[in-house]
Amino acid sequence: MRSDQIKKGLQRGPHRSLLKATGLSDADIRRPFIAVVNSYTDIIPGHIHLDAVGHLIACHIRAAGGTPFVFNTIGVCDGLAMGHRGMKYSLASRELIADCVETMCEAHCFDAMICIPNCDKITPGMLMASLRINVPTIFVSGGPMEAGRVDGRDVDLIDQFYAVAQQTIGKMSARKVKQFEANTCPTCGSCSGLFTANSMNCLCEAIGIALPGNGTCLATSPVRTGLYIEAARRIVTMASQWVRGGSRKTFPMLPRRIMTKKAFANAFILDMAMGGSSNTVLHLLAMANEAGVPFSLDDIDRISKRTPNICRVAPSSTPEGKSYHIQDIHKAGGVHTILGQLAADKPNLLHAQAATVTGKTLGQNINAWSLRARRVRPAVKTFYRRGSQPTGRNVTAVRLMLMADDVLPNGKRIHPPAIRKTFIGNDRFPPRTGRRIDALDVIRPVDNAFTKRGGLVILRGNIARNGAIVKLAGLDPTMYRFAGKARICESQEDACEAILAGRIKPGDVVVIRNEGPKGGPGMQEMLAPTSYMKGLGLYDKCYMITDGRYSGGTSGPCIGHVAPEAASAGEIGLLKNGDLIEIDILTGKLNAKVSAAEFARRRKRFKPRPPQIRHGALGRYAAHATSADTGAVLDWPGKNT
């Protein structure tokens, strides 16, 4: 086995001494070494319970015949980093996380790993690392947060951002904003809409690296505990199978053999069907780069054109104004029911033979886990019903719930039934009766799709030669075609000042530049200016264009990821106030009414803004980051040669 490099033979006696100093026996050392790659931190609500999750998974790995080793990565919460210098570090942290996981697993020769991410850049960072290391791997995230409740309606963190913007411009009382503050994030878990965290955790199911239910089962549900236990047992089985005779060329369940071009296509098909965060494009392109899989914006564009958008989740809403959250998606059948609906209505769309960590194909998983399959097992119905029920458990209650299923190395439960019942707390935290939903509205048949094409659209034109992205799922049809004069803002802060000062008028196109991977640096999210635009009633009267990116919680007329960026002498950096910008979402066009000759004249006089940060992690990222259309990954001379 791979771990024999640090534990087998006479020369590894010192290594075994070090291992025994941690409490391992000779029997433990003979077993497969399995990394439990955790991301616990007590500053992120999506990660605050992961200490208990990691402990539970380690217990069940040991009981199943593996030897677990737990370590943590860093984690940046985009919500907490929003609106200040910290947001510049968010995307760059993805590369650091990938490097840290690779370093730990390669230095200690682990035979397999189980990754426990949840929020923002942690999931893609770990996915990138898994493709570098290429040992048996399963992803099992910490699960989504319950939606909050204000004035009888479900709300989420983005509602709080909008409430703050409303108070800033005098349209909401401080008391009402405090009510949102107290209720929009009621439990632990990743924020409750289809923002970047939940988008990526759902895509892990479609790409085949996670078990069914990973992206949608609530963090507060006892049902999710079963998912952790199953993942722990499954990774030991996979590791044992690989040790007994697999190789990187033949073993079918290694990350690079699972995450093939067809698997990436499946992930993007789900993304388009759900209308996920535009950040997923950055992350999946970065993963494809690590996997050596040729995948580009052109591939994504082709998938978008043939994949209907059949699911609308907050921050997007239905044409009737209904807002659904991840718990509603789980109640309606989760990711595999979405995929099952697509497979039934468009049989040649998905690559159903793609491999997954379950040991079955994606098509077999769909048949077993879709609520719209011909035969649905009672256990599957229970899984979706109970896993979507809000309970209001706080983080202490969730930790106790997870502790209830701790086991000894021999597999026997530590706690007797009476104590386990107390820990799970069914009496203190009874499931609340969730609102009634129409499952056929939450996940629509293709003949009743919200749009015939996917929830994300690739745009190109003379100010986006290498592409740009808009979230169609969050866009009013009246904004599909638009023309307006450019209002140039040299940074996000410049844009916020212009919006609040009243300099942005209906019909304008707000251009925010110098916010790309190199120029920012770090490609920060533009949630503050979009919140102010919405609060001022300009959201359906103006467009916003940036070489930066948007929060997964953004919806509306917002075009991001413009490439090349201004710092790389892209045409977005050559625009002037008053230039006419023409946008056609249906044909995928983004152009300025500026001639090639005029752009050439402007380019001769153009001087990119000097780098804002030259030292530390951001200085390194700015010096080596590629364009958004290639995933904003790090590159350097001689890489991959």
> Would you name the residues annotated as active-site residues?
551
Cα–Cα dist 138/211, whole Å:
8
Strands 509-512 and 481-489: parallel
Element (H, E) at 133: helix 122-133
Nearest to 121, CA basis, from 231, 219, 54, 44: 44
Closest by alpha carbon to 275, among 318, 216, 230? 318
φ/ψ region of 411 (left if φ > 0, alpha if ψ in -120 to 50, else beta) reads: left
Alpha carbon of residue 315 to chain centroid: 14
The helix (run of H) or strand (run of E) holding residue 544 is strand 543-546
Pairing type for strands 543-546 and 509-512 reads: parallel
Residue with tokens 């479900």: 154
The answer to whether 495 touches 514, Cβ cutoff 8 Å, is no
Q: What DSSP line would sit under 87-115, residue for residue?
A: GHHHHHHHHHHHHHHHHHHHHHT-SEEEE
CB 223 within 8 A of CB 372: no
How many CB atoms are located within 10 Å of the residue 70 CB?
18
Which run of H or E residues covers position 467?
strand 464-471
Among residues 434, 38, 53, the alpha carbon closest in space to that of 219 is found at: 53
Residue 173: how many CB atoms within 10 A of its CB?
Answer: 12
Where on the phi/psi map is residue 631: left (φ > 0), alpha (ψ -120 to 50), or beta? left
Instruction: Specify the 3-state DSSP secondary structure of 464.
Output: strand
- Quote the CA–CA distance of 467 and 629 in Å, as a whole number: 7
Distance set, CA 417 to CA 423, 427, 471 (Å): 10, 15, 49
In 3D, which of 478, 481, 460 has the Cα closest to residue 469? 460
Residues in the chain: 641
Exposure string for 595-623, b = 16+ CB within 10 A, e = fewer: eeeebeeeeeeeeeeeebbeeebbebbbe
* Cross-strand pairs, 210: 139
Tell me which H or E stretch contains 67: strand 67-72
Q: State how far the Cα of 495 lies from the Cα of 498, in Å rounded to an integer.
A: 5
